[in-house]
């Protein structure tokens, strides 16, 4: 039934988005069809690793040493990033003791899935050591691991302030200048929080008189060094992405008030935050959060986020994967939206929300805003006024921060609309990298992991996305839990329950004709007219001679004798009886067969 209703539903959801005068593409054009499908049996150039553990969900790539570090259930592994399956790996067994597993089970937890040591955090601590944290049968522990010897230390650190108890809970963490910044649900009570530890000034969010976080599930965090080349002496910031219960929904334009309604958020804290001296002591003074919308109603559950160009804050942007809210239990679909950091910054510099006791609802705050602006970082201007740290801020400012953590304006996607809507797909993770083509333009290339073990490789083109290919990574369906790109190894590492798979970022040799190569629109691939082959652009001897047409995918082969078929200025479209022109013909070199695939 949903197959027949999907075009109508998609049109309705798109039309119901936040209105605006700008023209919109037909909604069905947002549902891109992968140009090539690569089943598991046809994988080439892949490497696999599977040790004696399960749930290989934590990945850390160290490009300089060419090592891929993996955290799993009851174990850590150090793999050769060039070939993860070459057998040269190192291994650490880190299991919860039988006594700990018994206690965990006695507390009502599952002794088949939960009462183990799931390694949830693995980062570089310093030049000699790694830092890892595990759930340890609902009694989290952390350890500083000698990176060279790759062995556990003789003593461990308490992990309850750094790691979730529950292995199924969302978690994100970073080590920044020696401090540990984590966001998850802490303790046995599963309290959502954003915390900083292993730092002279440990901080957390405020709980009274209102919770700054409401039933939050965290997805991603990233450091943006906004102090770099800042004309005002700004501070570096950490951004957190999560889904939480929307307490302000009674005043929302998107839906009627529902206490259980969940929305996507982005929050921000300043790296230099020291907390308040008396008010907000040991609490963030710079915490602000805003709603993250994809401008398609019901796409509210945030599944994955990745950042691009974080080294230059003026160009930093994010890609986020959303799925439908839980009320759409019989329909599976995903949306991809892009957000510019400049838009996020503008929202955090805008008006606040306030809980109005008289009407018992949230509304836009219309009163005066104290100075210095609440939630802002310490800048050169504030230092010149005597505010050298957050502990120097006036009580009036800190009281305002306690009561106004939420911004009034939502963060809207670039160009006000999604890049992609994909039906019958639930994206679970994504990662991206900018790719500069031989002709000069740079394109963002995204890899999107699905809940059933496929990878969609897509290039961002203006206000939309072109899915270059879809690849079945695992023989048995399983969720993609993590994705890491290595430009140096030209590899994508995929973490899942059964193991880790290493895929090449491109397989240009699959395209046998000029038209196949050009139509792929893969920034990594170009047609070489001298060798009559589709080559990897980054390794080609004469890169500038390669033929590419990333924007349109139909120019450059007109005078080439290796077109693989008669030259056509336009490719004819297939017409699906239900979905309309959603796919294109793919002609074989001898033009004797046509394959169609509608999604």
Query: pLDDT for 159-215, tens place per residue?
Result: 999 999 999 999 999 999 999 999 999 988 889 999 999 999 999 999 876 789 999
- Label residue 123 left, alpha or beta by phi (over 0 means left) and psi (-120 to 50 means alpha): beta
141, part of any domain? yes
Using an 8 Å Cβ cutoff, are 10 and 2 in contact?
Answer: no
Cα distances from 580 to residues 4, 26, 29, 486, 573, in angstroms, run 12, 11, 10, 38, 10
pLDDT: which is higher, 250 or 312: 312
28, part of any domain? no
Write down which residue in 363, 397, 419 finishes a domain: 419
The verdict on 220 and 355 lying in the same domain is yes
The verdict on 471 and 522 lying in the same domain is no
Query: pLDDT for 404-413, tens place per residue?
Result: 999 999 999 9
So what's the pLDDT on residue 31?
A: 76
CATH code (residue 317): 2.130.10.10
Write down which residue in 471, 505, 539 finishes a domain: 505
pLDDT band at 558 (very low <50, low <70, confident <90, very high): confident
- Complete DSSP assignment for 48-60: EE--S-EEEEEEE
The verdict on 360 and 452 lying in the same domain is no
61, part of any domain? yes
The verdict on 114 and 66 lying in the same domain is yes
How far apart are alpha carbons 375 and 512 in whole angstroms? 56
Q: Please tell me the number of Cα atoms within 13 Å of 402 on its side-chain side.
A: 19
129, part of any domain? yes
Averaged pLDDT for residues 576-580: 38
Query: pLDDT for 455-467, tens place per residue?
Result: 999 999 999 999 9
Averaged pLDDT for residues 562-566: 49
392, part of any domain? yes
Averaged pLDDT for residues 420-448: 96
Find residue 121's DSSP bridge partners: 133
The verdict on 472 and 529 lying in the same domain is no
Query: pLDDT for 97-133, tens place per residue?
Result: 999 999 999 999 999 999 999 999 999 999 999 999 9
Find residue 172's DSSP bridge partners: 183
Q: Is the peptide bond before 279 cis (omega within 30 degrees of 0)?
A: no
How far apart are alpha carbons 321 and 317 in whole angstroms? 14
Q: Is the pLDDT of residue 49 over 60?
A: yes
The answer to pTM > 0.85 is yes
So what's the pLDDT on residue 571?
A: 42
12, part of any domain? no
Q: What percent of the chain has pLDDT over 90?
A: 77
The verdict on 260 and 312 lying in the same domain is yes
The verdict on 384 and 458 lying in the same domain is no
The verdict on 414 and 394 lying in the same domain is yes
The verdict on 582 and 525 lying in the same domain is yes
pLDDT: which is higher, 298 or 370: 370
Strands (E), 294-369: 299-308, 317-324, 333-340, 353-356, 361-364
The verdict on 223 and 352 lying in the same domain is yes
Please give the mean pLDDT across all residues of the chain: 88
The verdict on 409 and 433 lying in the same domain is no
CATH code (residue 552): 3.30.1680.10
Q: Is the pLDDT of residue 598 over 50?
A: no
289, part of any domain? yes
**How many domains, in total, are found in the chain?**
4
How far apart are alpha carbons 192 and 211 in whole angstroms? 10
Write down which residue in 386, 419, 452 finishes a domain: 419
So what's the pLDDT on residue 550?
A: 97
So what's the pLDDT on residue 311?
A: 84
pLDDT band at 356 (very low <50, low <70, confident <90, very high): confident
517, part of any domain? yes
pLDDT band at 257 (very low <50, low <70, confident <90, very high): very low
- For tokens 């949306």, name the residue: 335
β-strand 36-38 against 464-472: which pairing, if any? parallel
The verdict on 499 and 510 lying in the same domain is no
Q: Is the pLDDT of residue 158 over 50?
A: yes
| Residue 489: domain span | 425-505
| Number of neighbouring beta carbons within 10 Å of residue 520 | 27
Q: Is the pLDDT of residue 59 over 60?
A: yes
Q: Is the pLDDT of residue 531 over 80?
A: yes
């Amino acid at each position: 039934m949903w197959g027949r209703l999907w075009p109508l539903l998609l049109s309705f959801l798109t039309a119901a988005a936040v209105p605006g005068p700008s023209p919109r593409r037909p909604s069905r054009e947002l549902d891109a069809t992968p140009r090539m499908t690569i089943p598991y049996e046809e994988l080439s150039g892949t490497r696999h690793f599977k040790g004696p553990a399960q749930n290989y969900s934590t990945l850390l790539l160290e490009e300089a040493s060419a090592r891929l570090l993996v955290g799993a259930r009851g174990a850590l592994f150090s793999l050769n990033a060039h070939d993860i399956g070459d057998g040269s790996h190192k291994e650490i067994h880190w299991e919860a003791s039988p006594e700990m597993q018994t206690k965990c089970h006695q507390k009502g937890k599952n002794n088949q899935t939960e009462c183990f040591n799931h390694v949830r955090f693995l980062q570089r601590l310093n030049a000699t050591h790694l830092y890892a944290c595990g759930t340890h049968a609902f009694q989290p522990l952390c350890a500083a691991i000698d990176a060279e010897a790759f062995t556990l230390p003789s003593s461990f650190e308490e992990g309850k302030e750094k790691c979730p108890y529950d292995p199924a809970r969302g978690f994100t963490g970073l080590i920044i200048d020696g401090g540990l910044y984590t966001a998850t649900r802490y303790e046995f009570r599963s309290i959502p929080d954003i915390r900083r530890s292993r730092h002279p000034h440990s901080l957390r969010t405020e709980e009274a008189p209102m919770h700054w976080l409401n039933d939050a599930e965290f997805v991603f965090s990233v450091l943006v060094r906004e102090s770099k080349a800042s004309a005002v002496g700004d501070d570096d910031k950490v951004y957190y992405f999560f889904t939480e219960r929307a307490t302000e929904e009674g005043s929302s334009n998107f839906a009627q008030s529902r206490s259980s309604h969940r929305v996507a958020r982005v929050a921000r804290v300043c790296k230099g935050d020291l907390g308040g001296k008396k008010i907000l002591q040991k609490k963030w003074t710079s915490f602000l959060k805003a709603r993250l919308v994809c401008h398609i109603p019901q796409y509210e559950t945030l599944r994955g986020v990745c950042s691009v160009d974080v080294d230059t804050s003026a160009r930093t942007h994010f890609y986020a994967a959303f799925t439908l809210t839980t009320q759409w239990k019989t329909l599976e679909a995903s949306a991809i939206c892009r957000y510019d950091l400049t838009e996020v910054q503008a929202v955090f510099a805008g008006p606040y929300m306030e809980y109005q006791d008289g009407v018992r609802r949230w509304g836009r705050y219309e009163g005066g805003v104290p100075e210095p602006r609440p939630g802002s970082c310490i800048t050169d201007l504030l230092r010149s006024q005597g505010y050298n740290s957050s502990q120097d801020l006036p009580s009036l400012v800190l009281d305002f921060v306690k009561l106004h953590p939420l911004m009034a304006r939502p963060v809207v996607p670039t160009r006000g609309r999604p890049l992609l809507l994909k039906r019958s797909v639930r994206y679970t993770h994504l990662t991206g990298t900018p790719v500069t083509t031989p002709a000069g333009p740079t394109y963002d290339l995204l890899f999107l992991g699905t809940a059933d073990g496929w990878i969609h490789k897509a290039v961002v083109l203006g206000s939309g996305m072109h899915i270059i290919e879809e690849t079945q990574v695992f023989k048995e369906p399983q969720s993609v839990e993590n994705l890491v790109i290595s430009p140096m190894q030209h590899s994508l590492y995929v973490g899942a329950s059964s193991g880790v798979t290493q895929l090449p970022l491109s397989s240009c040799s699959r395209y046998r004709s000029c038209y196949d190569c050009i139509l792929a629109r893969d920034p990594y691939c170009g047609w070489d007219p001298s060798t009559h082959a589709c080559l990897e652009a980054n390794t080609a001897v004469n890169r500038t001679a390669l033929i590419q047409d990333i924007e349109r995918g139909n120019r450059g082969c007109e005078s080439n004798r290796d077109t693989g078929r008669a030259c056509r200025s336009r490719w004819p479209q297939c017409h699906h009886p239900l979905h309309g022109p959603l796919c294109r013909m793919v002609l074989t070199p001898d033009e004797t067969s046509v394959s169609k695939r509608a999604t």
